[in-house]
Chain A
């Protein structure tokens, strides 16, 4: 018998492992405390208290002015849908123009495309070679019909951080709402919403070591938004449906822990990320860094291995016990090359060979050493098979 293979999970932007503390916090709300948070009796009251407490914790991580600005949802996708469709519905009489970026998550991109079919005008603002939105283009795109700017805080594929403070200022000046998808950044980058010109912000539980199936939308006080989920009076009348109490408690706990550990964790992740990049580039040639060299999520490393297609690398890494992903064609179930890298004008062949390593709190230096050890023979084997490799020589 050989020793069990080392397992290294480097796909934390896809999802994270729910923390033990979070699971422990949630446990009582599956069985013991099962009441409906809307019930006024003794069965419902502790559930209500737990939901309120979780709301405080989420508000605190985001730096919201009040917990009432936090609405619980089923996750990042719902939050994005709610924010965008909700504003479009509420501001129909004012205008129908939305501005977004070319590199948004599908939850935003496809919502905008859907609304374009429904009669909205949508401007997709381009990005530079590092994936940073072109602010001059964004400014020029604003008209008197513009009702919403939606630009992500940090990109899921490459980790580039967008200038949300500047966008917020522009939106404020023009009297336009600004929504940001902060699913990848919440818990990794500091946020202080009470001092930022952000009207709406989406987060997801499972990206920050909380459970799947729960998220939140921050709605700044006074923001006009039409509910998308209709029914009872839950969530201050903004989102109907019996509260997912265990999930909400888990999200709250995850936010509390993320807030406490943000600075130390961010430092550790940055070190591991840069250590991985250094290791890869010291052993493998013809590697490109995708994303901004500095203004990037502390945990995200997207690299392009020239002359290769990413899926082969992912499959080989998987055989070695390493979980990573490609933003390119194959894994997403579509054959289109990454819309993010395409928008950054990365060469078509180079897009194909891109791999995203997203580090998490469980990863150690030994994990990174292991990956840096198994990767070079994989790359060599695949390059020896590639008809493009000789051309590059």
Chain B
């Protein structure tokens, strides 16, 4: 796929889901840097049954970065941590009807942001138990 964004990408760019922060988030994932042009911050709220009840994001980046952030939050809401760990960058890109080749790294970033948020949650949980 060359250059152009799919309708689905544009739709998520126009109306991104779950923009914002979760003040009492269970886990936060930060990835990217301004030099590469994308920064994502993903917040997750996890309940006692290990289910992700809420997810929000803030993103600095291109249209694809915003759309993949939006999509990944949609994909993980209602999933267990175990299920969420299986959400791959390809799943995010596919759910958007594909991404231009040079924008595939945005879906990788979304996957990484999710992993970091889950890691953060797990680390916090461990610290609480210990």
Residues on A lying within 8 angstroms of B by beta carbon are: 307-309, 311-312, 315, 319, 328-330, 333-335, 337, 348-349, 352, 384-388
Task: Indicate whether A309 sits within 8 Å of B65 (C-beta atoms), given known contacts A328-B37, A337-B37, A348-B34.
Answer: yes
Rounded to whole angstroms, the CA-CA distance of A348 and B34 in the bound complex is 6
Contact A385–B16 (Cβ < 8 Å): yes
The residue that B34 contacts in the complex, of A333, A352, A385, with Cβ under 8 A, is: A352
Within 8 A of A (CB), among B7-28: 10, 13-14, 16, 19
Contact A335–B102 (Cβ < 8 Å): yes
Contact B60–A308 (Cβ < 8 Å): yes
For the complex, would chain A's binding face be called helix, strand, loop or mixed by DSSP majority? helix
Task: Indicate whether A385 sits within 8 Å of B19 (C-beta atoms), given known contacts A309-B62, A312-B62, A348-B34.
Answer: yes
Contacts of B66 in A (CB 8 A): 312, 385
Contact B41–A329 (Cβ < 8 Å): no
Interface string of B88-107 (1 = CB under 8 A from A): 00000000000000100100
Task: Indicate whether A387 sits within 8 Å of B37 (C-beta atoms), given known contacts A312-B61, A329-B62, A330-B62.
Answer: no
Contact B36–A307 (Cβ < 8 Å): no
The 3 closest A-B pairs by CB, nearest first: A349-B34, A311-B62, A387-B58
Minimum Cβ distance to chain B for residue A168 (Å): 37
Within 8 A of A (CB), among B24-72: 30, 34-41, 58-63, 65-66
Task: Indicate whether A348 sits within 8 Å of B35 (C-beta atoms), given known contacts A333-B3, A385-B66.
Answer: yes
Instruction: Tell me the nearest residue of chain A to B69, going by C-beta.
Output: A385
Instruction: Tell me the nearest residue of chain B to A315, going by C-beta.
Output: B63
Contacts of B105 in A (CB 8 A): 335
Rounded to whole angstroms, the CA-CA distance of A312 and B58 in the bound complex is 14
Minimum Cβ distance to chain B for residue A387 (Å): 4
Minimum Cβ distance to chain A for residue B24 (Å): 17
Task: Indicate whether A309 sits within 8 Å of B58 (C-beta atoms), given known contacts A315-B13, A335-B102.
Answer: no
Contact A384–B37 (Cβ < 8 Å): no
Minimum Cβ distance to chain B for residue A392 (Å): 11
Contacts of B65 in A (CB 8 A): 309
Within 8 A of A (CB), among B73-113: 102, 105
Max chain B CB contacts within 10 Å: which of A307, A330, A333, A387?
A387
Max chain A CB contacts within 10 Å: which of B30, B40, B58, B60?
B60
The residue that A309 contacts in the complex, of B3, B37, B102, with Cβ under 8 A, is: B37
Contacts of A352 in B (CB 8 A): 34, 37, 60
Minimum Cβ distance to chain B for residue A149 (Å): 32
Contact A386–B59 (Cβ < 8 Å): yes
Rounded to whole angstroms, the CA-CA distance of A319 and B14 in the bound complex is 9
Rounded to whole angstroms, the CA-CA distance of A308 and B61 in the bound complex is 7
Identify 22 residue pairs between A and B in the complex whose beta-carbon atoms are under 8 Å apart, listed by A's number. Answer: A307-B60, A311-B62, A312-B13, A312-B66, A319-B14, A330-B63, A333-B102, A335-B37, A335-B102, A337-B37, A349-B34, A352-B34, A384-B19, A385-B16, A385-B19, A385-B58, A385-B59, A386-B59, A387-B30, A387-B39, A387-B40, A388-B34
Rounded to whole angstroms, the CA-CA distance of A163 and B66 in the bound complex is 41
Rounded to whole angstroms, the CA-CA distance of A319 and B59 in the bound complex is 20
Contacts of A307 in B (CB 8 A): 60
Instruction: Tell me the nearest residue of chain A to B59, going by C-beta.
Output: A385
Instruction: Tell me the nearest residue of chain A to B58, going by C-beta.
Output: A387
